[in-house]
């Protein structure tokens, strides 16, 4: 990705329909892929409403930006419609702010893709769960997301990253990275490699259910980290699911499992001291209660049967991807230092 210049961001903000007024911006968030800026329109007549998120979409990762934005448009439109029907408390959705030309994104002269969306006022995210109530709220929010999208035809969405949670595909990439050992790190991670190989078959077995069509393909979020749930700053209730980049056809296991990965971990994803990484089963229980409260009626027996194992599956697949990227020399995820990807494993 090309570097960003201050000058260009100013110009890019002006391409979007965010109304009159001066603005300021600052970098924002902790995503591993895109670049995010919080844009504030100064002197806006409606306080709190003058905030937006501008993002440069990493098109090396998201090869089909048009498909991605179309998915996001369809899903947010559907959610908005459903929420207006149900008047379900404070739960809301982000909205895409179109360009002045009415497009869903803007491509600059250097070939970078940009999008603007609303910033939900009075909201907060956390990287780690602080209480059982928060774990419940996250379960409720991802469950609600699944429930609200149940009547939207899956075929409307494009698979923007093929094989995203396909374990067989991830193992093939891992094998290639081992074979190449591009930066000579293989010998230093033999323990992690042995662990991955040891778990391989049980992981492939779960994926086989997906590839055989034993479980329904639903509209899933596919990146259900706890910090993708917005909580209301005052009430601490879940109010919105964000980061819709990877919304596409998938298995319910992907969303449940990836949430559990971050929700029951008492430490951050990149904690360097494995001694700090503990599992909080009370959070697991609270999260599951929230999730099933919304989704129990729509899940099949087979989905329910392997729901708990999906937490292993998704935690494992993320570890495998971080390890693969470490072996490849940190070419995919943003890293802040040499062993960052390894700390995430």
Q: What residues make contact with ligand GN1 under the rule CB under 6 A?
A: 31-33, 61, 223, 225, 243, 246, 269, 318
Q: Choose, by CB under 5 A, the member of 35, 223, 270, 303 that binds Mg ion.
A: 223
Say if residues 270 and 344 touch (Cβ distance below 8 Å): yes
Could you say which of Mg ion, ligand GN1, none residue 56 binds, taking C-beta under 5 to 8 angstroms by partner kind? none
Rounded to the nearest whole angstrom, what is the least distance from the CB of residue 214 to ligand GN1 in the complex? Answer: 24
Contact between 236 and 133 under an 8 Å Cβ cutoff? The reply is yes
**61 binds, options ligand GN1, Mg ion, none, Cβ within 5 to 8 A by partner type:** ligand GN1
Binding status of residue 243 toward Mg ion by CB under 5 A: yes
255 binds, among ligand GN1, Mg ion, none (CB under 5 to 8 A by kind): none
The 3-state DSSP composition of the chain as helix, strand, coil percent (nearest 5) reads: 45, 15, 40
Per-residue buried b or exposed e for 215-229, using 16+ beta carbons within 10 Å of the residue's own CB: bbebbbbbbbbbbbb
Nearest in space to 64 (alpha carbons), one of 137, 170, 159, 128: 159
> Is there a contact between 159 and 82 (Cβ–Cβ < 8 Å)?
no
Least separation in angstroms between CB 66 and ligand GN1: 16
328 binds, options ligand GN1, Mg ion, none, Cβ within 5 to 8 A by partner type: none
Min. distance of Cβ 142 from ligand GN1 in angstroms?
14
Q: Which stretch binds Mg ion (CB under 5 A): 49-57, 83-91, 243-251, 296-304?
A: 243-251
What Cα–Cα distance (Å) separates residue 199 from each residue in 87, 269, 308, 324, 325?
45, 20, 16, 15, 19
CB under 5 A: which stretch of 39-47, 171-179, 242-250, 265-273 binds Mg ion? 242-250
Interface region with Mg ion, contact rule CB under 5 A, candidates 5-13, 60-68, 125-133, 244-252: 244-252
Q: Which is nearer to Mg ion, 223 or 232 (CB)?
A: 223
Residue 343: CB minimum distance to ligand GN1, A: 12
Q: Which of 209, 219, 309 is nearest to 260 (CA)?
A: 309
Nearer to Mg ion among residue 223 and residue 303 (C-beta): 223
Q: How far is the CB of 305 from Mg ion (least distance, A)?
A: 28
Residue 88 CB partners (closer than 8 Å, separation 6+): 144
Q: How many residues bind Mg ion (CB under 5 A)?
A: 3
x/- contact string, 196-215, with Mg ion (CB under 5 A)?
--------------------
Closest residue to bound ligand GN1 by CB: 33
For residues 148 and 82, is the Cβ–Cβ distance under 8 A? yes
Question: Would you say 41 or 129 has its CB closer to ligand GN1?
Answer: 129
CB of 101 to Mg ion, least distance (A): 27
Q: Smallest distance from the beta carbon of 291 to ligand GN1, in angstroms?
A: 18
Rounded to an integer, what distance in angstroms lies between the CA atom of residue 146 and that of residue 203? 24
Is there a contact between 53 and 25 (Cβ–Cβ < 8 Å)? no
* Whole-number Å distance between alpha carbons of 26 and 36: 9
State in angstroms the smallest separation of the CB of 262 from Mg ion. 12
Angle at 1 (CA atoms; ends 179, 33), nearest 5 degrees = 75
Using the minimum distance from each CB to ligand GN1, give the nearer residue, 97 or 317: 317
Per-residue DSSP letter, 276:
G
Alpha-carbon distance values, 38 to 13, 51, 56 (Å) = 11, 7, 12
Q: Which residues bind Mg ion (CB under 5 A)?
A: 223, 243, 245
């Amino acid at each position: 990705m090309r570097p960003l210049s201050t000058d260009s961001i100013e110009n890019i903000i002006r391409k979007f329909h965010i109304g009159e007024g001066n603005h300021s911006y600052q970098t924002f968030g902790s995503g591993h892929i895109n670049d995010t800026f919080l844009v504030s329109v100064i002197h806006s007549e409606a306080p709190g409403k003058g905030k937006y998120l501008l993002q440069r979409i990493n098109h090396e990762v998201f090869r089909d930006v048009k498909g991605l934005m179309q998915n996001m448009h369809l899903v947010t439109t559907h959610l908005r419609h459903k929420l207006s029907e149900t008047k379900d408390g404070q739960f809301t959705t982000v909205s895409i702010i179109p360009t002045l030309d009415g497009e869903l994104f803007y491509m600059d002269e250097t070939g970078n893709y940009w999008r603007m969306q609303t910033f939900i006022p009075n909201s907060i995210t956390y990287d780690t769960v602080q209480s059982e109530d928060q774990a419940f709220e996250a379960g409720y929010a991802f469950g609600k997301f699944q429930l609200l999208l149940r009547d939207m035809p899956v075929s409307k969405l494009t698979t923007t990253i093929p094989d995203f949670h396909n374990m067989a595909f991830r193992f093939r990439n891992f094998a290639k990275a081992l074979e190449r050992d591009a930066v000579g790190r293989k010998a230093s991670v033999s323990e992690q490699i042995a662990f991955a190989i040891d778990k391989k078959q049980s992981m492939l077995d779960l994926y086989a259910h997906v590839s055989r069509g034993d479980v329904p393909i639903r509209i899933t979020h596919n990146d259900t980290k706890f910090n993708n749930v917005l909580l209301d700053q005052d009430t601490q209730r879940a109010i919105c699911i964000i980061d819709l980049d990877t919304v596409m056809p998938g298995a319910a296991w992907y969303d449940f499992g990836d949430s559990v990965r971050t929700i029951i971990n008492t430490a951050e994803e990149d904690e360097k001291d494995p001694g700090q990484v503990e599992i909080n089963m009370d959070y697991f229980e609270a999260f599951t209660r929230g999730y099933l409260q919304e989704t129990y009626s729509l899940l099949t027996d087979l989905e329910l049967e392997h729901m708990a194992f999906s937490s292993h599956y998704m935690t494992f697949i993320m570890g495998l991807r971080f390890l693969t990227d470490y072996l490849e020399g940190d070419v995919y995820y943003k890293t802040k230092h040499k062993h960052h990807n390894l700390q995430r494993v």
